[in-house]
Structure formats: structure tokens, C-alpha cells
Structure 1
Amino acid sequence: MTASVGRITTISARSDVSFDDAVEAGIARASATLRNVSGAWIKEQKVEVTDGAVTAYQVVLEVTFVLDD
């Protein structure tokens, strides 16, 4: 039986466009630094508001990556 071991790291990403865009940016950045990114959990979502309007979207992600053998 083959086993694998993963690690989880927490990152924060921000976008002026949407939550989806913030998630995409966070995963893209994590994948540029970490090898074997296999998934992510959106732990927290938050918006910034200015004068009653949403101006930015922020997410906190728990990113999972599999450790090399």
C-alpha cells in the first residue's frame, strides 16, 4: 500500500474583483512557491467597505501540498 504525507499552510489573498479572483490568485501564488499543491480550504472570507460599497475581497486559505518522497 502506498502512503503519502501532506502539509497544510495558511495564506491570505486579496482581490478588487471577487472572492473567486482572490482564491485563484492565492492558489496561483502558492503553486508558484510550493510543489504538489493538491487542494485548499477557504477558512475565512472578508470584504473591505468604503462609503457603503464593497471595495475589496479577501480570503484566508488553508493550502494542502503533498511532501516529496
Structure 2
Amino acid sequence: MVIKVIEILASSPDGWEAAAQVALDEAAKSVRGIKSIYVNEMSATVEDNKIKNYRVNAKISFEVQ
């Protein structure tokens, strides 16, 4: 078995968990056999002293067939 890892940057106004789901959903559009997601980094954009967008840098692993 061979596992490949891709890195995806994603964001959501609804939180880091939602941003991670966005990353997973986007990867699933072109990749099959996703096995795991590793959130490597989290950040947020701020506007008027409030968090506007949550961002994740995620590594998604999948089996190469």
C-alpha cells in the first residue's frame, strides 16, 4: 500500500472544525480513498477586533491505487 499526502489551505467563518471540513470536502472532489486529515496549523483573520475567518493548513492522506 502506498499513501500520498497533499496539503490544503482552507477557511470558514464558522470555526476551525468547519475549516477542516472545507479542506476535506475540497480534497474529496478530486481524491478517492482519503484515510486521514492532520491539521498542521491554525490561524484566523481579524476585523474590528473580531475573528472574521478561521483558517487551517491541513495535510490529507489517501491511498494510491
Shorter-chain TM-score category? over 0.9
Where do 5+ consecutive residues of structure 2 fail to align? Answer: none
- Residue of structure 1 equivalent to 2:34: 37
Q: TM-score, normalised by structure 1?
A: 0.90
Number of matched residues? Answer: 65
Q: Highest Rg: 1 or 2? A: 1
Greater share of residues in strand: 2
Question: How much is the aligned-residue C-alpha RMSD, in angstroms?
Answer: 0.7
Where do 5+ consecutive residues of structure 1 fail to align? Answer: none
Asked if 1:25 corresponds to 2:22, the answer is yes
Q: TM-score, normalised by structure 2?
A: 0.95
Q: Which runs of 4+ in 1 moved over 4 A?
A: none
**Alpha-carbon deviation of 1:58?**
0.3
Percent of pairs with identical residues = 20
